[in-house]
Amino acid sequence: MIVRTERDGKVPALEVRDVQSGYGEVQILWGVSLSLQPGKVTTIVGGNGSGKTTLLRTVMGLVPVWKGAVRLGTDDVTRMPAHDKVQRGLVLVPEGRQLFTDLSVLENLELGATPRHARAERQRTLERVFDLFPRLKERSHQLAGTLSGGEQQMVAIARGLMGKPKVLMLDEPSLGLSPLFVLNLFETIRRLKAEGLTMLLVEQNVQMALAVSDYAYVLGGGKIVVEGEAARVRKMEDVRRSYLGL
């Protein structure tokens, strides 16, 4: 049974409680718990191999939960397959973008609008993502595989937004991007936050991730070792040295 953590008196948009998971017989997560407040950006930081991507994949249903539970709003989605979670408003923008490279930008975006609640508003949402990413409108008929890395990341995020998510999870969105594209990426995250979108961010750029986030969890060895307001975590010297490599 999940005991909900209600910061600010609100039911979490997403809650993970005592989750254990892994691959085959190799356990990666050892009782991880976290809570996302509606309209806030929550970040997960930690060293390589700490279990960050596994955590997102477990929440999404791409890796099975061994023990523990996951709730999306008031719904228990622990054993729910990934496609059903997307229908309920949980969307993951995966590490490595994973676009359909032989399809156009527009076709990739349209494929993101598969959830029932997103289909009716597909055109309106498309206009919104083109407002966020004007370059994608210019390249809407270009094959996704011919875009630069930064442009492909724009497509990946825009495709996620086409699903009208209640919670958007971003796995290493700045990986491999130029400094200018990284700045543009975090400006987009700030803009989405201002619009009230709930986001869970896993990011190698620790300083920028913490700067844009409201709350932070530090993952080490598959366990949460520190949590707190992002601004406070950002200033903790022992955390910076031991877990963030700063």
In 3D space, the residue among 174, 158, 176 whose CA is nearest the CA of residue 43 turns out to be 174
Q: What is the pLDDT of residue 96?
A: 83
Tokens in use for 162? 């086409």
Q: Which helix (H) or strand (E) holds 216?
A: strand 215-220
Residue boundaries of the structural domains of the chain: 1-89+166-246, 98-163
Note whether 58 and 108 are within 8 A (CB). no
The mean pLDDT value for 74-92 works out to 96
103-128 as b/e, with b when 16 or more CB fall inside 10 Å?
ebbbebbbebbebeebeeebeebbeb
Provide the CATH number for the domain formed by 1-89+166-246 in this structure: 3.40.50.300
Read off the tokens for 147.
């875009």
For residue 240, the model assigns a pLDDT of: 73
pLDDT in tens, 115-145: 999 998 999 999 999 999 999 999 999 999 9
Checking if the pLDDT of 221 tops 90, the result is yes
Mean per-residue pLDDT, 64-93: 97
Per-residue pLDDT, 143: 97
Instruction: Give me the mean pLDDT over the 63-67 stretch.
Output: 98
Average pLDDT, the chain: 92
